[in-house]
């Protein structure tokens, strides 16, 4: 990939001048997070980590990622309506993964009782890397699709202005003009507002279901403010608040602290540590209600790695999109190699190839949130322990993507200014709303670029490894 900013990276004086401009601009634009020391207080904030300059991204691959997002939205929604497929696909993982089993138990309880919810809202983010192939070309390959708490739609709406200002300060006005506009928070809020409207009560509120530790609150606030601008009341509650002060009325409407909840938008609930017994009861109460859940439990299950692996099998996509062969082709083109570790001949073969060449693969558990994947020699260590046990079925194996590193400068709190070899991951946000059987809204609403130094195998912005970025199309 083109080395775009070498004249700047080779000039330490320019870097020293540009970094404080970038940091102050980020603070002015509200690209901020609470500090690790005071994660629940806004008395002290710092800039969210970001790149000094936008990273080069192949234009054709960026356009490809944009063009397939509405296909993925439709696919996720259709899978969420197929309990038989979800149960068959997740049955092996559920036997050895308590978290998956608990999620599915909530799903089964709601199905047995009958769905009260009639409006469905999906806010997804499909993540990709740019794979360098042996013939010298680069291909777009999907890492995962996030169907719950897909983050940084808010902060990534503010980062274009930061890089535009830095480039102008460096005398690169023309390049500054090429930074793409990006406003996922607006598109996400439009989807939530449409679901709120279809719920049909002007008095009802949107409830953000939030984690106990809220460092990334400003990312939420940008979406909240978009809703307040539409005169939609927003409340923020934790699972414990819903458990203690939530209830269902005789029509299964959800009430919390006296408010009727039209939309419950989850910004937590994707990790085992997000739950205790009270949290599970609160989740079940919400799922049983008429409130629009984003995501409902079925859609959360669609985002698991096991479903991702199953979709890569021949003719599975066609089952869900029989009327859309072009969409099937677009989706399949983004798939990396994905392999089952289920008990049996196929899983045995997967163990064999992974043990022979662990550097070629990534071992993935059924978890969201970054920092969970296993690489290199550690793959061998893990598989040697579990290769003869059903425990291996809680993982899938995926081909390791090999992106071309590019140079950039990562700005982090109290960090020194240092140019590093970096790789980037592109996320595309999608929003859809379905009422009954009718798709009312299906849109791509923006993007997110995250960049990290090549020495880090795994981990996102919230984990302190990756930083926010903007694509500079080349």
Average pLDDT value for the chain? 95
Q: Are 79 and 342 in contact (CB under 8 A)?
A: no
Written as six digits, the tokens of 133 are: 């192939």
> Helix %, strand %, coil % for the chain, to 5?
40, 25, 35
**Rg of the chain over CA atoms, in angstroms?**
22
Cα 336 to Cα 364: distance, rounded to the nearest angstrom: 13
Over the stretch 180-225, which tens digit does the pLDDT of each residue have? 999 999 999 999 999 999 999 999 999 999 999 999 999 999 999 9
Please name the residue that has the structure tokens 């540590």.
273
Place of tokens 């009782």: 113
Check whether 444 has a pLDDT greater than 80. Answer: yes
Taking 60 as the threshold, does the pLDDT of residue 1 lie above it? no
* Topology, domain 338-400: Dna Ligase; domain 1 (3.30.1490)
C-alpha 284/C-alpha 216 separation (Å) is: 26
Task: Work out the number of other CB atoms within 10 angstroms of the CB of residue 443.
Answer: 16
Best CA proximity match to 289, nearest among 442, 109, 132: 109
Given this model, what pLDDT does residue 450 score? Answer: 97
Q: What is the DSSP letter of 39?
A: T
Distance CA 89, CA 98 (A): 16
What is the reported pTM? Answer: 0.95
pLDDT given for residue 462 in this prediction: 64
Report which DSSP code applies to 7: H
d(CA 55, CA 459) in angstroms, rounded, equals 18
Distances (CA, A) of 458 to 6, 32, 37, 270: 26, 22, 23, 18
Whether 72 and 430 have beta carbons less than 8 Å apart is answered as yes
The Cα angle at residue 75 between residues 73 and 79, in degrees rounded to 5: 120
Query: Within the chain, what is the greatest distance between any pair of CA atoms?
Result: 69
pLDDT, one tens digit per residue, over 116-175 is 999 999 999 999 999 998 888 999 999 999 999 999 999 999 999 999 999 999 999 999
Active site residues: 125, 144, 146, 151, 305, 364, 368-369, 450
3-state secondary structure of 416: coil
- Domain boundaries along the sequence of the chain: 6-336+401-473, 338-400
Over residues 225-234, the pLDDT tens digits come to: 999 999 999 9
161 phi and psi angles, rounded to 5 deg = -65, -30
- Nearest residue to 179 (alpha-carbon basis) of 158, 155, 151: 158
């Amino acid at each position: 990939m083109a080395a775009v900013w070498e004249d700047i990276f080779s000039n330490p004086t320019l870097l020293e001048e540009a970094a404080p401009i970038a940091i102050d601009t980020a603070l002015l634009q509200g690209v901020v997070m609470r500090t690790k020391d005071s994660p629940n207080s806004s008395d002290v904030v710092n800039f969210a980590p970001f790149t000094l300059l936008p990273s080069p991204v192949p234009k054709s691959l960026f356009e490809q990622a944009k063009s397939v997002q509405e296909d993925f939205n439709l696919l996720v929604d259709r899978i969420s309506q197929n309990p038989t497929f979800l149960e068959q696909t997740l049955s092996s993982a559920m036997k050895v993964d308590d978290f998956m089993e608990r999620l599915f138990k909530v799903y089964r309880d709601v199905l047995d009782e009958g769905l009260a919810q009639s409006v469905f809202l999906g806010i997804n983010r499909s993540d990709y890397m740019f794979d360098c192939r042996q013939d010298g070309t680069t291909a777009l390959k999907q890492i995962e699709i996030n169907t719950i708490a897909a983050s940084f739609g808010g902060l990534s709406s503010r980062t274009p202005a930061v890089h535009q200002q830095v480039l102008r300060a460096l005398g690169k006005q023309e390049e500054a003009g090429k930074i793409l506009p990006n406003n996922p928070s607006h598109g996400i809020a439009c989807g939530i507002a449409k679901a709120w409207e279809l719920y049909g009560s002007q008095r009802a509120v949107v409830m953000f279901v939030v984690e106990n530790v809220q460092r990334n609150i400003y990312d939420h606030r940008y979406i909240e403010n978009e809703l307040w601008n539409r005169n939609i009341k927003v409340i923020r509650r934790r699972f414990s608040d819903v458990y203690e002060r939530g209830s269902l009325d005789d029509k299964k409407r959800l009430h919390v602290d006296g408010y009727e909840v039209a939309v419950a938008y989850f910004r937590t609930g994707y990790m085992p540590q997000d739950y205790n017994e009270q949290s599970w009861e609160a989740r079940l109460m919400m799922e049983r209600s008429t409130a629009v859940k984003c995501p409902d439990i079925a859609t959360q299950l669609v985002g698991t790695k096991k479903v991702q692996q199953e979709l890569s099998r021949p003719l599975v996509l066609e089952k869900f999109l029989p009327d859309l062969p072009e969409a099937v082709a677009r989706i399949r083109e983004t798939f990396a190699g994905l392999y089952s570790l289920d008990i049996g001949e196929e899983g045995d073969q997967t163990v064999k190839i992974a043990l022979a060449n662990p550097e070629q693969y990534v071992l993935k558990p059924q978890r969201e949130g970054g920092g969970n994947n296993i690489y290199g020699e550690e793959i061998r260590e893990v598989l040697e322990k579990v290769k003869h046990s059903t425990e291996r079925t809680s993982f899938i194996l995926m081909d390791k993507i090999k992106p071309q590193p590019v140079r950039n400068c990562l700005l982090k709190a109290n960090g020194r200014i240092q140019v590093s070899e970096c790789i980037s991951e592109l996320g595309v946000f999608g929003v859809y709303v379905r009422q009954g059987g009718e798709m009312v809204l299906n849109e791509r609403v923006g993007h997110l670029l995250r960049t990290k130094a090549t020495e880090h195998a795994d981990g996102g912005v919230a984990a302190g490894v990756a930083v926010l970025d903007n694509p500079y199309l080349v």
